[in-house]
Amino acid sequence: MRRIVTLLAALVGIALASPASATLQIDVNQGNLQPMPIAITDFGGAPGQNVASVVRADLDRSGLFRPLDPKSFVDQIKGFNVPPNFANWRVINAQALVTGQETIQPDGRMKVAFRLWDVFGEQQMIAEEYTTTPESWRRVAHLIADAIYQRVTGEKGYFDTRIVFISESGPLLNRKKRLAIMDEDGFNPIYLTNGSYLVLTPRFNPTAQTIAYMSYIAGKPRVYVFDIDSGRQEMLGDFPNMTFSPRFSPDGNRVVMSLEQSGVSDIYSMDLRTRSTTRLTNDRAIDTSPSYSPDGRQITFESDRGGSQQIYVMNADGSNSLRISFGAGKNGTPVWSPRGDLIALTKQDAGAFRIGVMRPDGSGERIISDGWEDEGPTWAPNGRVLMFSRTLRGGHGSQIWSVDVTGRNEQRVATPGDASDPAWSPLIQ
Amino acid sequence: MSPSRSIIGNRISLASGAGDSRSPLGLVGAVLLHAAIIAATLFSFEHRLDIAQESPPVVPVDLVTIGAKTNITPTVRPQRRVAAEPVVQPKPEPHLAPEPIVPPKPQPLEFHAPKIAMEKSEPAPQQETPPQPASKPQPKKSSADNFQALLNKLSTSSSSQPANARIAQQTRKGFGAQDAMTMDLRDSLKNQIEQCWNPPAGAPHPEQLVVFVDLRLNPDGSVAGKPQLAAQSLTAVAGNPFIRAAADAAMRAIYVCAPYKLPAERFSDWRDSTVEFDPRDLAGQ
């Protein structure tokens, strides 16, 4: 009992005294947006050096990291399983450190392991290991870059993805347009079609490695679905008129597209399993460029039903359509972010085409690219980065560019020759 | 077509309605109100400038005037404090500030042990252990230890101001939240941390990414031990990779900008702080 009383007395005393040791309340609400300095050491073994350099290039390209030059490293990593001497990495201002090890297994397979260290907190942030065939070393590097990106930003990475695009070659009057695919960093480009027929607007299935696009096979413009792994191509439905602007639903089971009839176009959706179609819009205007919300419950599209080309949102069954873009100029090619928070668009105003984003209710519109003719945005699977086509002034070539959703880090994507109409794949399974 | 016409019609009728309601009385009232507002802003402006330019001379004046009032209550309370303080003095020195820092440190050493630790699951617990030791000792040990932990806080404050401790407590208490006295310190620390904070711009739902960090500094401005996430942030971090990343960014900002340049003679005022990292104003940048 006495103990309790003394304890209570002491607590009262502390309660009274506590204002003296009051803590400062500090509200930090302004920051200094800068890429995070990260040291990525070479992984053990000759192929490992390549892995580290691909990881460095991936993170550098994201604009959120600044990989330090290995020549600036003052510390030697003693071994993969020995904690590094953090002070030596703080000296060169590294905030994070990546160490790695690469070994060839007795069965000939390659094992790559890495650790990500918090240099100031002096602790390990993640460690992972991948086993694969030695030829897949680039994919392993992308997977490691994705893991680091995700741990540091909270966002899933996008380096282990591919881009389909329209590769353009030949003279302006006789342009050869071929469907091509490459890794997100521009490596391993492959042509999927031979250029004997025109291919436009490729779109990735968000759940599988299949593409929908519009093609002029035998002079008839129709929507096709193409399986990348098997190379099989299939026409979607047999409509009497032109079908175009296809896009998959988030679950990959449906395709929405436009069907043209006597100068106007409406939006239809097709169930890929039953091949049954549903008409979603029905008016005397041009309704096109449909794109599903990530939950599959709504569709955004462009329409000139109000007099000029603007962006609308409707329920997935076609009901309750609502105009969301009201600013200056025309707005088109809306694409719903896989994250759901934004809709990307092409804005045509004052003679220029630029990429913008707005919230699904039409608020918060921002222009995020600064080209002269930028169009056709496509989202990275994490909803954080966009790619788009850029036509150079005077029509002198077309390129693919990428930009962060914040409008920062605009940069050209490496492509073999001229390229347009990019479509970003989901993360490779 | 027709909707636009009706909108224009509405605007016209609204405008004419406003014109009808004008009267000389309203005008006089408006002028008076404006004058009052201008006068009010002038007053507050001068006051703020005084504080900003010469904060040290102004603050003591406030202390004296308000301290006179609050001295009434402390005269009753010292007895209770005396009861508390004798208990404090025996144990303050063994329990110096470094104590709470010790438990987290053994963990980094454990990195030696997992030689082929590749699974995500292995590093994860290691990383999340630092917060745990803080909570574990409490349930294990008796109330006496709780008591000692609480006393630590008290002891450190009393040791920093040995002679005048009691007087300082009383006067500060009367001064409320100590805003004016520590405003310059807060601004200074805030500005220094902001230089190093790489906020989570572009992340979804920035309103969920507000992180609170309890920070303790050494007299030389370096970080004492490991800054800890405040309780409310600790629970949020567990299930959300975005909040975890935001918390990491906050910790990095604190470490990268240290040591902090703050007036040494006022160490007791800036030794402990709770830093709120709020990225809401930076969303979409």
Express each pLDDT in A357-403 by its tens digit: 999 999 999 999 988 899 999 999 999 999 999 998 877 789 999 99
CB B100 within 8 A of CB B150: no
Most confident of A44-58, A70-84, A281-295: A281-295
Residue A52 Cα to chain centre, angstroms: 22
User: Given an 8 Å threshold on Cβ–Cβ distance, is B278 in contact with A127?
Assistant: no
Among chain A residues, CA nearest to B168? A20
User: What's the mean pLDDT in B65-94?
Assistant: 38
Q: What is the dihedral of CA A3, A9, A14, A16, to 10 degrees?
A: 170
DSSP string, A393-415: GGG--EEEEEEETTS---EEPP-
Best mutation target, A25, A26, A341, to test chain B (most B CBs within 10 A): A26
Q: Is the pLDDT of residue A118 over 70?
A: yes
Interface of A with B in 357-376 (CB under 8 A): 364, 366
The confidence score (pLDDT) of residue A2 equals 57
Q: CB distance from B129 to chain A under 8 Å?
A: no
Question: Which 8-state DSSP code applies to residue B252?
Answer: H
Q: Tell me: the pLDDT tens digits for B183-204?
A: 888 899 999 999 999 888 777 7
* DSSP reduced 3-state for B73: coil
Q: Tell me: the pLDDT tens digits for A290-322?
A: 999 999 999 999 999 999 999 999 999 999 999
User: Given an 8 Å threshold on Cβ–Cβ distance, is B200 in contact with A11?
Assistant: no
Question: Which 8-state DSSP code applies to residue A347?
Answer: E
User: What's the mean pLDDT in B98-103?
Assistant: 32
Among chain B residues, CA nearest to A384? B202
User: What's the mean pLDDT in A10-24?
Assistant: 52
Confidence of residue A196 (pLDDT cuts 50, 70, 90): confident
Task: Give whole-number Cα distances, A301 to A93, A128, A179, A215, A380, in Å.
Answer: 47, 42, 25, 21, 19
The confidence score (pLDDT) of residue B18 equals 40
Q: How far is B242 from chain A (nearest CA, A)?
A: 4
Q: Is the pLDDT of residue B272 over 70?
A: yes
Question: Which 8-state DSSP code applies to residue A43?
Answer: P
| Start-to-end Cα distance in chain B | 38
Top pLDDT among B121 and A146 is at: A146
Among chain B residues, CA nearest to A65? B198
**Tell me, what's the ipTM?**
0.80
Strands B272-277, B211-216: pairing kind: antiparallel
Rounded to whole angstroms, the Cα distance separating A323 from A312 reads 4
| Start-to-end Cα distance in chain A | 66
- Structural element, H or E, at residue A200: strand A199-204
pLDDT, chain A, mean: 89
Structure token digits, residue A105 = 């297994």
Interhelix angle B165-174/B55-70, rounded to 10 degrees, is: 90
CB B245 within 8 A of CB B204: no
Q: Tell me: the pLDDT tens digits for A236-286?
A: 887 888 889 999 999 999 999 999 988 889 999 999 999 999 999 999 999
Top pLDDT among A388 and B38 is at: A388
User: Given an 8 Å threshold on Cβ–Cβ distance, is B272 in contact with A21?
Assistant: yes
Q: How far is A67 from chain B (nearest CA, A)?
A: 16
Q: CB distance from B242 to chain A under 8 Å?
A: yes
Rounded to whole angstroms, the Cα distance separating A47 from B97 reads 49
Burial A54-93 (b: 16+ CB within 10 A, else e): bbbebbbbbbbbebbeeeebebebeebbebbebebbbeee
User: Given an 8 Å threshold on Cβ–Cβ distance, is B273 in contact with A23?
Assistant: yes
Per DSSP, which regions of A48-195 are E strands? Answer: 65-67, 96-104, 110-118, 123-132, 162-169, 176-183, 190-191
The confidence score (pLDDT) of residue B62 equals 41
How large a percentage of chain A has pLDDT more than 70? 93
Q: A88-102, A144-158, A164-178, B158-172: which range is least confident on average?
A: B158-172
Confidence of residue A46 (pLDDT cuts 50, 70, 90): low
Q: CB distance from A1 to chain B under 8 Å?
A: no
Q: How far is A202 from chain B (nearest CA, A)?
A: 27
Contacts of A183 (CB under 8 A, 6+ apart): A138, A142, A161, A162, A163
Per DSSP, which regions of A310-417 are E strands? Answer: 310-315, 322-323, 330-336, 343-349, 352-358, 366-367, 374-379, 385-391, 398-404, 411-412
Note if the pTM is more than 0.80. Answer: no
List chain B residues with CB under 8 Å of A24: 182, 185-186, 189, 269-270, 272-274
